[in-house]
């Protein structure tokens, strides 16, 4: 496996492209617009420069990594000759199904198709693909170049061969792959999102304030980041989307999003990316603290 296509140049997509390229793979980074590609490539360049400054990599490593990435704005052109496609588009079911329908039409049948979805059923995604046995989940953690975990999600039809290939590939990226089965939220978000949601409920019910809730979890439970700050970093819209997927999948009220979360998303208070969530990033150094934590 030498050539990888990554669909989506956003936070997760550019991180995945960066990671593969730094490991010596040829990466075809695909997005719908030149602006999205430019932003993604600038993020990769900035992150690589930071690594050079810290002495993690050399200047030549940076040059080689960027040189391993080719960009495209057309899926059909971008997937020619690839061995693996990793989809990292927005966490939207219809969007992902449309992408995988297209991939099924334009990719050779031996190309493995992976999704970076954090909660959507791999079996459902695979249902629109010819040869669904080649569809698998590769759920990277943010920020991808730093975080070691990759959840490998087997769909109902995913073969042992495909699973083993992706497990070994993840190890070549210096990641730790963990195989899980295909249920809403998988493992990471099935455990994390109810905790975040309960933290929001605790705030909503007036038990304690934002800083107090985060301080209790950091100092009392040894979490490196409080759940409300983490929610801001993930994106409150993403948290809401994942909770809705789990609520729809399990029909269990414990996964129902807190009304405060729903209202904040509707009001456009999405966390770090919008400048305000549970913390006001325009008025504080909290965003810098979040960023610094993930530079360690």
Look up residue 280 and give its DSSP letter: B
pLDDT score at 285: 58
pLDDT higher than 80, residue 91: yes
Cβ pair 174, 150 in contact under 8 A: no
- Is 118 catalytic? The answer is yes
How many other β-carbons are positioned within 10 Å of the β-carbon of residue 82?
A: 21
Q: How far is CA 36 from the centre of its chain?
A: 16
Average pLDDT over residues 203-227: 97
- Give the pLDDT confidence score for residue 287 in this predicted structure: 54
Write down the catalytic residue from 47, 115, 119, 139.
139
187 contacts 180 by C-beta, under 8 angstroms: yes
Backbone CA torsion sign across 52, 56, 58, 63: negative
* 8 A C-beta contact, residue 119 and residue 144: no
Strand partners, 181: 154
Each residue of 227-286: pLDDT tens digit?
A: 999 999 999 999 999 999 999 999 999 999 999 999 999 999 999 999 999 999 987 655
- Using only the alpha carbons of the chain, give its radius of gyration: 19
What confidence score (pLDDT) does residue 282 get?
Answer: 84
Of residues 96, 238, 94, the one with CA closest to residue 85: 96
- Provide the 3-class DSSP secondary structure of residue 203: helix
One of 189, 197, 199, 274 is an active-site residue; which one? 189
Out of 91, 116, 121, 151, the active site residue is 151
Q: Read off the pTM.
A: 0.90
101-144 pLDDT, tens per residue?
A: 999 999 999 999 999 999 999 999 999 999 999 999 999 999 99
To the query of whether residue 151 is one of the catalytic residues in this protein, the response is yes
109 flagged as catalytic: no
Q: Any idea what the Cα angle at residue 238 is, between residues 219 and 253, rounded to 5°?
A: 80
Q: Which of 118, 170, 199, 241 is flagged as catalytic?
A: 118
């Amino acid at each position: 496996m030498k050539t990888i296509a990554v669909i989506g140049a956003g936070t997760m997509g550019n991180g995945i492209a960066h990671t593969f390229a730094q490991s010596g793979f040829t990466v075809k980074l695909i997005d719908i617009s030149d602006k999205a590609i430019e932003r993604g490539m600038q993020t990769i360049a900035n992150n690589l420069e930071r690594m050079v400054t810290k002495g993690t990599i050399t200047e030549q490593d940076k040059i080689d990594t960027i040189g391993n990435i080719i960009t495209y704005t057309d899926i059909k052109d971008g997937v020619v000759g690839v061995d693996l496609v990793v989809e990292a588009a927005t966490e939207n079911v219809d969007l992902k199904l449309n992408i995988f329908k297209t991939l099924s039409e334009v990719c050779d049948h031996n190309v493995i198709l992976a999704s970076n979805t954090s909660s959507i059923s791999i079996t459902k995604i695979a249902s629109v693909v010819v040869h669904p046995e080649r569809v698998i989940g590769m759920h990277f953690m943010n920020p991808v170049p730093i975080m070691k975990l990759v959840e490998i999600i087997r769909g109902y039809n995913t073969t042992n061969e495909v699973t083993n290939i992706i497990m070994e590939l993840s190890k070549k990226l210096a990641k730790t792959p963990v195989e899980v089965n295909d249920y809403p939220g998988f493992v990471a978000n099935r455990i994390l999102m109810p905790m975040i949601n309960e933290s929001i409920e605790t705030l909503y019910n007036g038990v304690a304030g934002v800083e107090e809730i985060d301080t209790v979890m950091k100092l009392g439970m040894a979490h490196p980041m409080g759940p409300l700050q983490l929610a801001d970093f993930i994106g409150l819209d993403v948290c809401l989307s994942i909770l809705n997927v789990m609520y729809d999948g399990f029909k269990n009220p414990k996964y129902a999003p807190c009304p405060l979360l729903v209202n904040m998303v509707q009001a456009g208070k999405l966390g770090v990316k919008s400048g305000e969530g549970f913390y006001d990033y325009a008025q504080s150094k909290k965003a810098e603290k979040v960023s610094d934590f993930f530079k360690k």
